[in-house]
Amino acid sequence: MRKLFWLLILLVLVFMARPIWEDKASEYVDLGFLAPIDRAVDQVTEGPAIENALTQAKQFTLQVGGQLKSFVASSSAEMPVAVSKPALDETQSLFAVHNVTLGMTKEEAQAKVGLPLRLMRNEYGTDWHSYHQDYQNYVLLSYDQEGKVNGMFTNQALISSTKGITMQSKRAEVRSALGIPLKSLQKGNVQYILDTREEYDVFKIDSIYITVFYDLHEENTVTAIQVIDGGLEENRPEIYAEPNDEVREGYEYLLFELTNSARIQRELPLLKWDEATKETARKHSEDMADNKYFSHTNLEGKSPFDRMGDDGITFFVAGENLAYGQYSSIFAHEGLMNSLGHRENIVKRDFGYLGVGAAFNSDNQPYFTANFFNR
């Protein structure tokens, strides 16, 4: 009975300690709140809206799944010409992405994937080099100081593996091939407990960290994979990146790119980046981070559409996704895709433009605001 009492006390303390990661009195941090994405993301859509100089007649819909009707006849986004997927060679490495493997030189890698279209600072303190053809054959690569590949990511059918894992593999097959997922990650003197709620698994095999993401709405099939060299992962001092302008911009552009990468796989037109809406989104993320709240409605009672209107952004249809606490844009995007309401915004054909704004609170936890719209 006494043991049961102390066990209950311990569980209460773990729950109450959730917001205070950096408390040096605790050696364990529970990351379970990151996994059930509906507790750390939010989504809203509005449409149609007919504007004039004096008023806006708006139909407001808060969606958790479901359909949104719009007056938009056609999207202002573009559907690029389809390109073929590369032939995947047999690999002798644990994983290859677009026939690129860890340790390969930049010259060898870029002979296979071409030149990068954008560099984006990541949580490891390196840059994701983005390779794609209109977001088809989408690959992210990171390089060490010697110009050798030390990180890889893809969310498309570009995986080859000695373990036989493909984008058609299911969670049970991945675990059978890779073994027991990690339960925690050690960073400095803090052990971060991973409670993934089945949305992803982290494996360590030899000196390689593999994160496999699953699509909960498509029979738990693999939806993306990230492969990180052990030196890069183990030299990351904290679970969250130290924020600066480069990190913020990297997070913003990466969430935009991942959105388009998801759309092109579903044969949907690509969204265009909108700089003005990025600023609107940034301001809301900053407001939430600074004032410690998480909502579409700000402390002045303004909706996303009020905020967009205040900044002179006109639209027929608009939507907003929010995410908080995920320690990279990749984890934020994959979580949003596993929530049907947020996924609906990401893959809505009516949208033509997207602006993403990120900000960080005093614990370095990122807030993401994604404003979708069409004019």
Asked if residue 340 and residue 284 are part of one domain, the reply reads yes
User: Which of 239, 266, 285 is the endpoint of a domain?
Assistant: 239
Contact between 303 and 319 under an 8 Å Cβ cutoff? The reply is no
Contact between 259 and 370 under an 8 Å Cβ cutoff? The reply is yes
Cα gap 163→288, rounded to integer Å: 43
- List, in sequence order, every residue forming a beta bridge with 208; answer none if it has no partner: 205, 229
CATH number, residue 132: 3.40.33.10
3-class state of residue 313 by DSSP: coil
Per-residue pLDDT of the chain (375 residues), as tens digits, is 555 555 555 444 433 333 322 222 223 343 444 433 334 556 676 654 333 322 222 222 233 222 232 333 344 567 889 888 899 988 899 999 999 999 999 999 999 999 999 999 999 999 999 999 999 999 999 999 999 999 999 999 999 999 999 999 999 999 999 999 999 999 888 898 887 889 999 999 999 999 999 999 999 999 999 999 999 999 999 999 999 999 999 999 999 999 999 999 999 999 999 999 999 999 999 999 999 999 999 999 999 999 999 999 999 999 999 999 998 999 999 999 999 999 999 999 999 999 999 999 999 999 999 999 999
User: Which of 215, 239, 263 is the endpoint of a domain?
Assistant: 239
The helix or strand, by DSSP H or E, that contains position 154, with its residue range, turns out to be strand 149-154
pTM value is 0.84
Count up the domains in the chain and report the number: 3
Identify whether 39 is part of a domain: yes
Asked if residue 349 and residue 263 are part of one domain, the reply reads yes
Asked if residue 269 and residue 232 are part of one domain, the reply reads no
Asked if residue 145 and residue 22 are part of one domain, the reply reads no
Instruction: Please work out, in degrees rounded to the nearest 5, the angle formed at the alpha carbon of residue 330 by the alpha carbons of 190 and 217.
Output: 110
Asked if residue 260 and residue 235 are part of one domain, the reply reads no
